[in-house]
Amino acid sequence: MISGLERKNSEKLMKKARLANRIAKRSRGASRQNAYAVKACALATLVEKMPDRVDVRKDIILTDFVVVELKNTNRGLHLPVASLTSH
């Protein structure tokens, strides 16, 4: 039962991060920064609280970013490495 809750919560956090990312891409100024902050917080929480549910890999092009994705999916989101240490 707990693993089912963890799966649901990890999916909710990833959904929140994806929505914040979409909003950020359509926003400007402070709204954009706030949306990216929500995305970063959701992804950092995933990595910190549910490391067994995610894959984290370095981005070979954007070297100060990692890609966070739920395991068994091919849909990751970029996260600044600094967000992992400052969260």
Domain that holds residue 54: 2-86
Distance of CA 44 to the CA centre of its chain: 6
Tell me which residues of the chain have a pLDDT lower than 50.
none
Give the per-residue pLDDT at 46: 95
Give the per-residue pLDDT at 84: 85
Give the per-residue pLDDT at 27: 97
* Among candidate residues 39, 10, 8, the one with its CA nearest the CA of residue 22: 39
Q: How many C-beta neighbours within 10 Å does residue 5 have?
A: 9
In terms of Cβ atoms closer than 10 Å to its own Cβ (0-12, 13-18, 19+), residue 79 is: buried
Give the per-residue pLDDT at 87: 61
**E runs forming strands in the chain:** 54-58, 65-70, 77-80
Could you give the number of structural domains in the chain? Answer: 1
